[in-house]
Amino acid sequence: MKDAYIVQSIRTPGCKQNRGLFKETRPEELLSFILKTAVEKTDGLKPDDLEDVMVGCAFPEGEQGLNIGRVAAKMAGFPDHVSGATVNRFCSSGLEAIALASARVQMGWSDITIGAGVESMTFVPMGGNAPRPHPEYSATNPEMYISMGITAENVANRYNVSREDQDKFAAASQNKAVRARDNGLFTEIIPTPAYKYEKQEDGTYKKIEFIVEHDDGIRASTPEGLAKLGAVFAAGGSVTAANSSQTTDGAAATIVASKEKCDELGLKPIAKLISYTTIGCRSDEMGVGPRYAIPKVLKQAGMTYDQIDIFEINEAFASQALYCIRELGLEKSMDKINIHGGAIALGHPLGCTGAKLTATCLANLKEVKGKYGIVAMCIGGGMGAAAIFEMV
């Protein structure tokens, strides 16, 4: 197989669903911008050199339907020969897209590809616009369709993750993100155009552009402050809006090229994908996915935990993230996990998250002068995914 190298990995800020700075910015606009910018930031690369674009999207319908992978590539100004596809593995869709883009290069099917992710949870809400569970199957297997929040409550109850510990974890995530933002450590973020519509005197609306530079859901927090919030998914429960990930809008892109193309065009390799895996688990406790995916991907790569310098474990909920960290014996390695905060502070734009965390992982590896990083997440429906990246 050919060597496949990552030569660029960037993301937009993440902005809160319905209330954030991207609430009037369509997903195609976010994605086409980050695709175009990824190419522009890569010295020696032109749009004409690209062959394919794989885009993760958890709910590819409405404004992010009609194969947004192809639509956004054309909106980015890429030539006709650059093909595009939309990939859906729910919460790991963006990571799946990067894995597929890398595999295409490794197999020799393409020389330069992009793996990306996008989700506008403002335009297409959680569950999609018209969810229609199978009537007979849902009657016997309702866990396939239950709220992700209920699965988080199940993890907290079954594995004794206390409300106090969830709130401590959530506050730590927020405060790490505050420090990173205020010290310019989110180097993977690209200031991104956003749009709003202002009514004019003649009754028409004018589209106004402005720039978003930071994730807009970051809030300095204390466990005591978070403890005042009520549970939102179950009466008497422990999962709140504050110890859950934020529903978010955003996009991210990673460019992958063969060694031959890197040499030909003078592209500078940053990293490479060493291994990627997925695994299933019980649907009604889907948050435990990383607890099984991380050991599997390490075994697959012939590696051990102590070789990993950075862990980006998606914080879908504090309960599941804490459970996975504890079960994996990683509590002693908290200084390596989500070092600038996680989805509780920065958001979880579903299909974008895997691509977003890849950009963050590589930026953080560079910051700490590390070699290996893991990106992992739980997945709706009862799965986990994990990938190992190596800096080169």
* 84-133: pLDDT as tens digits: 999 999 999 999 999 999 999 999 999 999 999 999 999 999 999 999 99
Active site residue 91: yes
Mean pLDDT of 58-75: 98
Q: What was the pLDDT predicted at 204?
A: 97
Q: What was the pLDDT predicted at 12?
A: 99
Tokens for 315, please give them.
């914080």
CA 144 to chain centre: 22
- pLDDT tens digit string along 6-49? 999 999 999 999 999 999 999 999 999 999 999 999 999 999 99
Tokens for 357, please give them.
């965390």
Say which amino acid occupies 53: V
Mean pLDDT of 300-316: 98
- Sequence-separated contacts (24+) of 221-230 with Cβ below 8 Å: 221/170, 221/171, 221/174, 221/175, 222/171, 223/164, 223/167, 223/168, 223/170, 223/171, 225/171, 226/167, 226/170, 226/171, 227/163, 227/164, 227/167
Mean pLDDT of 140-146: 94
Domain residue extents for the chain: 141-185+273-391
**Torsion angle in degrees (nearest 10) through CA of 84, 86, 89, 92:** 60
Q: How far apart, in Å, are the Cα atoms of 192 and each of 136, 159, 207, 213, 336?
A: 45, 41, 16, 7, 28
Helix (H, G, I), strand (E, B) or coil at 74: helix
Cα–Cα dist 361/9, whole Å:
10
Q: Select which of 15, 281, 361, 378 is catalytic.
A: 378
322 falls in which pLDDT band (50, 70, 90)? very high
Active site residue 15: no
Contact 50, 114 (CB under 8 A): yes
186 falls in which pLDDT band (50, 70, 90)? very high
Contact 324, 336 (CB under 8 A): no
| Neighbouring residues of 300: CB distance < 8 A, sequence distance ≥ 6 | 275, 277
Cα–Cα dist 18/22, whole Å:
8
Q: What was the pLDDT predicted at 256?
A: 98
Mean pLDDT of 184-199: 98
Q: How far apart, in Å, are the Cα atoms of 376 and each of 31, 36, 313, 348?
A: 22, 27, 5, 13
Active site residue 352: no
Tokens for 30, please give them.
């976010």
Cα–Cα dist 144/66, whole Å:
26
- Least Cα distance to 102 among 4, 3, 2 occurs for 4
- pLDDT tens digit string along 328-373? 999 999 999 999 999 999 999 999 999 999 999 999 999 999 999 9
Q: How large is the greatest C-alpha to C-alpha distance in the chain, in angstroms?
A: 67
Cα torsion 246, 129, 58, 89: sign: positive
Cα–Cα dist 351/14, whole Å:
13
63 falls in which pLDDT band (50, 70, 90)? very high
Q: Select which of 57, 281, 340, 348 is catalytic.
A: 348
211 falls in which pLDDT band (50, 70, 90)? very high
Architecture of domain 141-185+273-391: 3-Layer(aba) Sandwich (3.40)
Cα–Cα dist 388/249, whole Å:
25
pTM: 0.98
Angle formed by the axes of helices 353-368 and 93-106, nearest 10°: 70
Q: Select which of 91, 262, 324, 361 is catalytic.
A: 91
The residues facing 116 across adjacent strands are 55, 253
Q: What was the pLDDT predicted at 106?
A: 98
When the pLDDT of each residue in the chain is averaged and rounded to a whole number, the result is 98
